[in-house]
Amino acid sequence: HRAGFVHRDMKPENVLIGDDGRVKVADFGLVRAVGSATATTGSVLGTVSYLAPEQIELGTADTRADVYACGVVLYEMLTGGKPHSGDTPAQVLYQHLNTDVPAPSAAVPGLAVELDELVAAATARNPEVRPYDAVALLALLREARAALGEEQLDALPPQARSGARDTADDRTSVIARAVPVEAGATDGPAASAGSDPHQVLLTNRLPAPEPAPAPGFRRLPPRGPLLLVLGVLLALGLGTGVWYINSGQFTRVPAVLGQTEAEATRRITDAGLDVGTTKRAFSDVYERGAVMAVDPAPGERLRGNGAVTLTLSRGPELVKVPNLKNKPLAEARRVLEEEGLAAGVITRKFSDTVAQGAVIGSDPEPGTERNPDSAVALVVSKGAPIDVPDVTGETVDDATALLQEEGLKVVVATERVHSPEAAGSVAAQSLAEGSRAAEGDTVTLTVSKGPRLVEVPDVVGESVDDARTALEDEGFEVEVKKSFPYLGSEVTGQSVEGGSTAPEGSTVTITIKGL
């Protein structure tokens, strides 16, 4: 079935068992490729007792028709008789279409329920609910076998031990299917079939005498039902050529060497296998990131949906640091990754020769050998330095224009502050005059609300030193005025009367009395 073929005539006569225990399915005269095993409008080839309902009614036969026949064979091996019988082949065919295969335990009380369920699954009249192919049926068979004890496996019904079988209807035959009859039609096979829409015509085509089994093989004996069906399914499920194999649950590992991890994973999962642990190793042959080894190796068989271990190339064992000077940072990162290295710490410096954002140099220097995945520190250019001009006291528009001419960006703070500068002018800038900035750096401007008004202290009668200290503590500038000749040290007057207000930072003049 995995090879894409349908046998179409499964029955005990076509099963050979070798003296060494090998099982072969014989007589492939009716085998068809799955895609070509489609409906035939005239007749159906097969053996009456083992035909699936869809073969009789529609003339179709895919892998599920073989599964149905295997279910009938298993029933026969368990009970010593066929599930459907009749005086004519047409009666047997009618039962296939309209009657479920009975439980084997109904004929042989005491058989395990697992065997009833297995037969029921394989012989379901609706092909959609049957196991899809021999491999699927094999899985069910193994589950049933695992649920049974040794005594149950060895127990055989008397009918099976006797070896007696009714083989009267076991010839491979040409079976004419009933087809719709047009009004007034009286001739032809369909007209002869009678009024029952499920009644069919059977014309026995006597085959040539069956050849004797090959040396070392014998026809299927009626004993060891589960083990024998196991062998039948193994032979049917996986073969062309010799038509048998030891197990139906193996998958060959696909060829994925040299592919990327993503490509290899896709091919392996498409084959029905899992990807296990991924390893990495050095390789001078395979590119970095490519699959350099597979375990199991490509072509080997792996049971069920087993896991495949991939080994990815890390590239050569030693890698030379590439020359990255003048490369943009993003490109430098990509080049390092392609070489099997990684970008490390990034520092930025001004450069009059290297464009802003490009690499000035690296540590280690170009040509140095390093292990794969080592980090390489990069020095990136900030471009030529810009001397920040002083724009305090300027209007916001003038300050912005001046800074932008230098290649700087300008942001104006939303909150204004009191300052000695006139209201609406620049009170402060984030980068002070003389600072070095890179092109595109941002300078934040703070706008003045004008000076804060402060109450002027009364310093008349105080000494010059005490008066100066009191005024400066409130944020005023102090100027001393003397009369000549100057002999006193006491303040006799001040330019702003004590107790009044004046702008913070403004000048207050104090007068010292002379002779």
Q: What is the 3-class SS of 15-54, one letter each residue?
A: EEEECCCCEEECCCCCCEEHHHCCCCCCEEEECHHHCCHH
Q: What is the pLDDT of residues 16-39, one digit of tens each?
A: 988 877 888 888 767 665 544 444
Torsion of CA 281, 285, 290, 291, to 10 degrees: -70
What is the chain's alpha carbon radius of gyration, rounded to the nearest angstrom? 50
Res 58: pLDDT: 83
Res 201: pLDDT: 38
Distance CA 389, CA 392 (A): 9
pTM of this structure: 0.39
270 is catalytic: no
Third-level CATH fold of 453-512: Trypsin Inhibitor V; Chain A (3.30.10)
Q: What is the pLDDT of residues 208-258, one digit of tens each?
A: 444 555 666 666 554 456 666 666 666 665 443 333 334 445 788 888 888
Residue 306 or residue 228, greater confidence: 306
Q: How do 507-512 and 477-482 pair as beta strands?
A: parallel
Cβ proximity of 346 and 381 under 8 Å:
no
pLDDT score of 179 more than 70? no
Record the tokens describing residue 445, joined without a space: 């401007």
Domain range 386-450, CATH architecture: 2-Layer Sandwich (3.30)
Record the tokens describing residue 234, joined without a space: 């193994």
Res 35: pLDDT: 47
Res 288: pLDDT: 84
Distance CA 104, CA 159 (A): 12
CATH 1.10.510.10 intervals, the chain: 5-238
Third-level CATH fold of 250-313: Trypsin Inhibitor V; Chain A (3.30.10)
Res 196: pLDDT: 36
Decide if domain 5-238 falls under CATH 3.30.70.1110: no
Res 251: pLDDT: 81
- Residue 154 makes CB contacts below 8 A (sequence gap 6+) with none
pLDDT score of 176 more than 80? no
- Residue 481 makes CB contacts below 8 A (sequence gap 6+) with 509, 510, 511, 512
Best mean pLDDT range from 304-318, 432-446, 500-514: 432-446
Res 164: pLDDT: 47
Q: Which among 202, 196, 173 is positioned nearest to 98, based on CA atoms?
A: 196
Polymer length in residues for the chain: 515
Res 487: pLDDT: 62
Res 167: pLDDT: 54
In the Cβ-directed half-sphere of 89, how many Cα atoms lie within 13 Å?
24
| Three-state SS at 310 | strand
Res 220: pLDDT: 57
Q: Which of 9, 27, 116, 441 is catalytic?
A: 9
Cβ proximity of 321 and 362 under 8 Å:
yes
Distance CA 121, CA 198 (A): 23
Q: What is the pLDDT of residues 99-119, one digit of tens each?
A: 999 999 999 988 899 999 999
Torsion of CA 277, 283, 289, 292, to 10 degrees: -50
Res 366: pLDDT: 94
Residue 330 or residue 371, greater confidence: 330
Decide if domain 321-381 falls under CATH 3.40.50.720: no
- The average confidence (pLDDT) of the chain is 80
- Residue 446 makes CB contacts below 8 A (sequence gap 6+) with 413, 415, 416, 417, 426, 427, 428, 429
CATH 3.30.10.20 intervals, the chain: 250-313, 321-381, 386-450, 453-512
Residue 35 or residue 12, greater confidence: 12
DSSP 433: T
Res 370: pLDDT: 87
pLDDT score of 60 more than 90? no
Res 409: pLDDT: 95
